[in-house]
Each structure stands twice: as C-alpha cells, then as structure tokens.
Amino acid sequence: MSIKLGDTAPDFQAESSVGDIQFYNYLGDSWGILFSHPADYTPVCTTELGYTAKLQDEFAQRGTKVIALSVDGVEDHQNWVKDINETQNTEVQFPIIADKDRKISELYDFIHPNASATATVRSLLIIDPAKKVRLIITYPASTGRNFNEILRVLDSLQLVDQHQVATPVNWNHGDEVIIPPSISTEEALKLFPKGVTEIKPYLRYTPQPNI
C-alpha cells in the first residue's frame, strides 16, 4: 500500500514499549506524528528518539502526539529506551511500536526494498485530527531527521488550517505569510486588518494573523 498526501492514515492495533496501542484511540482528537526507524540500538535512531523526547513540551503545545516504530520487539524497545535516556539525557515517554512481522511497515509503505528488504526507511508522517496525512518525509537510513523542520511544518499546517494563508520559503513562526491568489485584494484587506503588501497581483504578504 502506498500512502499519499490527503489519504486517510490507516488505523492499526499493535504492541508497543508502553503496552497495546490502538492507533486512532491513541491519537484521539490530536495531531499525530508517526515515524519509523530502521532498527533498535542504532546510533542515528538513538539521537533522534532522544531529541524527540526533549521536544515533548513543544509537541504538547501544538496538540500533537508522537509515536515511533521499529521492526524489533517490545523487550528490545524497552531496553533500548534505557540506553536512549542514559546517553541522550532525557526520558522517552512516547510509545515505540513493535512491528516484528512488518505488517504496519508494509501498511504505511515504510519498507523500500531497493534500500533494504528488511529494515524500514526513515519515514515520518504528520497526521491531522481528521486522520488525514498532511506531510510525508523520507530520509535514507544514514541521515538523521531535522526535527526543527518538523516543528516548522507543523506550525505552518496548523496556521494554514486556522487562517486562509500559505507560508513562503524558509518561513518560521512570526514571519509574514502569503495571501493565496484565490482571495481578492479587496477581500484580503477585510480578512487581514494588519495590512496587505502587494508585490505582484498574485504575490501578496500579510503579518502572521494569529500573533
């Protein structure tokens, strides 16, 4: 199965490092981040999971729950978490799914045979409260993810859902945003009282509306 943007993220039941998980129940009405790891006890993954744990408050502020996946078993996950906590000076509290039979990995297209026939690639999905897939990023196994970028995209997605805007290149929270061409300038002046800067009729900026 191939997951694409806008698809409904499939539900599943699985064992995890913190007990049995029903994915939809775990997410509830929150945003979600599901990310896969090639294997336990690997150095790049250890740094990623440690950094993700340190961002727990950041994700909570954004109403977002995190859940990881690896093709190893629960006992390995639980022992690995001890190593992560020790070496990364943190405390991993989010679940790590045990996917020894690779059913969830195959459901979410995390196995790329030309990269590895057995291990998952380093994929990450952002899933909105309606269970729609809003972001898919896949890295090679050797390259650690940039979680500052994940937070940036999450901020953008939540802003776009709340206001009729788009975010430009290299946008960060607090920067100006773009007014979509579907909104006339006359309408934009009413929608965005902080002001509208027109560069071209199709390229117009306004201060971020929610700050």
The answer on 71 and 26 residing in a single domain is: yes
pLDDT per position as a tens digit, 177-211: 999 999 999 999 999 999 999 999 999 999 999 99
Res 115 pLDDT > 70: no
The answer on 193 and 140 residing in a single domain is: no
Give the count of domains, the chain: 2
The answer on 171 and 140 residing in a single domain is: no
Give the residue, 121 or 12, on which the prediction is more confident: 12
CATH number of the structural domain spanning residue 91: 3.40.30.10
Q: Which pLDDT belongs to residue 171?
A: 98
Range of the domain at 168: 163-206
The answer on 76 and 106 residing in a single domain is: yes
CATH number of the structural domain spanning residue 180: 3.30.1020.10
Take residue 186 and report the two structure tokens written for it: 């006359």
Q: The whole model's pTM is what?
A: 0.92
The answer on 131 and 51 residing in a single domain is: yes
Whether 147 and 55 have beta carbons less than 8 Å apart is answered as yes
pLDDT-derived band of residue 110, with 50, 70 and 90 as boundaries? confident
Take residue 187 and report the two structure tokens written for it: 């309408």
pLDDT-derived band of residue 111, with 50, 70 and 90 as boundaries? confident
The residues with which 21 forms a beta bridge, in sequence order, are 14
The answer on 114 and 51 residing in a single domain is: yes
Residue 105's contacts (CB-CB under 8 Å, 6 or more residues apart) are 36, 69, 71, 99, 111, 120
CA distance 122 to 83: 20
Query: For residue 114, how far is the Cα from the chain centroid?
Result: 24
Res 38 pLDDT > 80: yes
Catalytic residues: 45
Q: Which pLDDT belongs to residue 118?
A: 53
Lowest-confidence segment of 65-69, 143-147, 195-199 by average pLDDT: 143-147
What average pLDDT is seen over the chain? 93
